[in-house]
Structure 1
Amino acid sequence: MFRSLWNAASGMESQQANLDVITNNLANVNTTGYKRQRANFQDLMYQTMVPPGEASSLEGNQVPTGLQVGMGSRLASVQKVFLQGSLRTTNNPLDVAIQGNGFFTVKLPDGRQAYTRDGTFNIDSHGRIVTPEGLTTDPQIVVPKTAKSIHVAPDGEVTATVAGQSAPVKLGQLVLAQFINPAGLSSRGNNLFMETSASGKPTLSNPGVNGAGRLQSGFLEASNVNVAEELVNMVIGQRAYQMDASSIRTVNRMLGYTATL
């Protein structure tokens, strides 16, 4: 009977973690380039009284199913789901969306590289193309002060119309990083990911080459969170939590009955 209490308690902990993941998804429904998370669960160890296939002590026949009692559940992982988000128009030439696979590469203040799907770029006081946090793209791209307009091509080439010159001037090239296991990237916050041993090393290529997506200037990639789906999952998780709590109350009443015998 005490096993039932711990089983139900583990189920409540699992559903609490599930609701934490769901509410984080809903909180980021308007976050540019956000990828929804999914909680994955596993059953715990089993108490085995009779192993399946063991010979019966009475007739010597083989036991077809055995006797195993579960010990509850646990949170196994929280997985990022890297499905394409919808593109929304901004008409800002420095807003760039990735249509397909890949991440923009930016440089952190300590010199390390980080990766993002958020193409909300700006120009700082030095003319460098930077993220909203001031992180420069890698490779770095500098816009001259005399530039009248900027254009980002689908293949990542950045050009500008400069005063006094009729032909566009090439400023640099945006490259995309691809990972064999993007779900293994570590979330840093601020729409940034970091490489890990699980993600593998990045493969850098120009957009549209070697499986990398193409760029859309004047667009941003919206979050891939489906609000209706998350609300349904929230109701399911809430009901599962309530049933686990009800199981604890039921076992508690049974123990009370036993104590009064």
Structure 2
Amino acid sequence: MPTSALQVARTGLEAQDTRMRVIANNLANIGTTGYKRDRADFATLAYQDTRVAGQQSTSETAYAVGLNLGTGVAVQGTSRIGTQGTLNTTGNALDMALDGAGFFAVEMPGGGTGYTRAGNFTLSAEGNLVTSQGYAVQPQIAVPQGATSVSVAPDGTVSAILEGEAAPAELGQLTIASFANPNGLRATGDNFLMETAASGAAETGPAGQDGRGNIRQGMLEASNVNVVEELVEMIEAQRSYEINSKMISAVDEMLRNANQTL
């Protein structure tokens, strides 16, 4: 059965509603540390071929063009835009930002590994470097009680002056995870992403090597959401939604008139 104009307009409404949800989520996360904006990707639905180009029009001629009717649009997926956010100085020694590609690795409840760009870390009661949720940063870094002047080098080496010592002691080295397809990571909330078959396995190594970004101590990466761009996107989505709504009203009116006339 051929797709009606009413059905096409309804698919447009659904697609634009999804688009506005993506934009609204971006705007809601303007202040979220390390957040990467999402983009809704659209694709046309299958076409219905009423007449195929090249089909015989007579015994001696063929149609130069076909008659192909689209069936609407759908959101194909959402892409994460991984551009670098602004690095803001906080002065907190345990705040860390990644200047470049990669993710901090975190041990999640249940034993899995989560990945994040949010480096607003703190210390647990045992002195371990953890996220604000209390999840241990991997590899585990323990800061002994009484240690002062904690420093993190661009390559992730963590040092501190221990009680009774004059020279800094190395406490360990943070490693950074990278993926063949970062867009394939699955967002779980709380600023965490999880590995999937599409992302490929995590490849961990020192910061600043093999394309991984350097660690900047005392800084946090801001969201990469651009308010002006998102508002323009929102206006476009609203206009498209309104047009599809008017199309539905117009088709309904045409069908009602047709039923009354016939």
- TM-score (norm: length of structure 2): 0.97
Q: Which residue of 2 aligns with 1:100?
A: 100
Say which SS state the counterpart of residue 42 (structure 1) adopts: strand
Say which SS state the counterpart of residue 260 (structure 1) adopts: helix
Q: CA deviation at 1:166?
A: 1.2
Q: CA deviation at 1:59?
A: 5.6
Q: CA deviation at 1:46?
A: 1.2
Q: CA deviation at 1:188?
A: 1.0
Partner amino acid for 2:49? T
Q: Which residue of 2 aligns with 1:235?
A: 235
Q: Which residue of 1 aligns with 2:74?
A: 74
Partner amino acid for 1:25? N
C-alpha distance in structure 1 between counterparts of 2:82 and 2:203, whole Å:
17
Alpha-carbon displacement from aligned partner over 1:71-113 (angstroms, at most 9, x marks no partner): 1111110111111111111011100000001000111121111
Q: CA deviation at 1:257?
A: 1.8
1:207-246 map, 5 Å? 207-246=207-246
C-alpha distance in structure 1 between counterparts of 2:115 and 2:225, whole Å:
20
C-alpha distance in structure 1 between counterparts of 2:168 and 2:194, whole Å:
35
Q: Which residue of 2 aligns with 1:135?
A: 135
C-alpha distance in structure 2 between counterparts of 1:256 and 1:111, whole Å:
60
Q: CA deviation at 1:2?
A: 6.7
Alignment: residue pair count = 260
Asked whether 1:201 is paired with 2:171, we answer: no
The 4+ residue runs of structure 1 with deviation greater than 6 A are: none
Partner amino acid for 1:123? L
1:151-170 map, 5 Å? 151-170=151-170
With 250-259 and 27-36 compared, the bigger mean Cα shift is at 250-259
C-alpha distance in structure 1 between counterparts of 2:156 and 2:229, whole Å:
34
C-alpha distance in structure 2 between counterparts of 1:197 and 1:156, whole Å:
28
Q: Which residue of 1 aligns with 2:248?
A: 248
1:28-39 map, 5 Å? 28-39=29-40
Alpha-carbon displacement from aligned partner over 1:123-145 (angstroms, at most 9, x marks no partner): 01000000000011111000000
C-alpha distance in structure 2 between counterparts of 1:89 and 1:119, whole Å:
12
Gaps of 5+ in 2: none
Q: Which residue of 1 aligns with 2:47?
A: 46
C-alpha distance in structure 2 between counterparts of 1:146 and 1:214, whole Å:
28
Alpha-carbon displacement from aligned partner over 1:166-217 (angstroms, at most 9, x marks no partner): 1101111110000010000000111001000000011111001111100110
Identity of aligned residues (%): 44
Q: CA deviation at 1:62?
A: 2.5
C-alpha distance in structure 2 between counterparts of 1:161 and 1:90, whole Å:
21
How large is the Cα RMSD of the aligned pairs? Answer: 1.1
C-alpha distance in structure 2 between counterparts of 1:97 and 1:64, whole Å:
59
Gaps of 5+ in 1: none
Say which SS state the counterpart of residue 155 (structure 2) adopts: coil
Q: Which residue of 2 aligns with 1:9?
A: 10
Q: CA deviation at 1:64?
A: 2.2
C-alpha distance in structure 2 between counterparts of 1:254 and 1:109, whole Å:
58
With 115-124 and 47-56 compared, the bigger mean Cα shift is at 47-56
Partner amino acid for 2:118? D
| Matched-pair contact (CA < 8 Å) for 2:3–2:71 | no
Q: CA deviation at 1:219?
A: 0.5
C-alpha distance in structure 2 between counterparts of 1:61 and 1:102, whole Å:
60
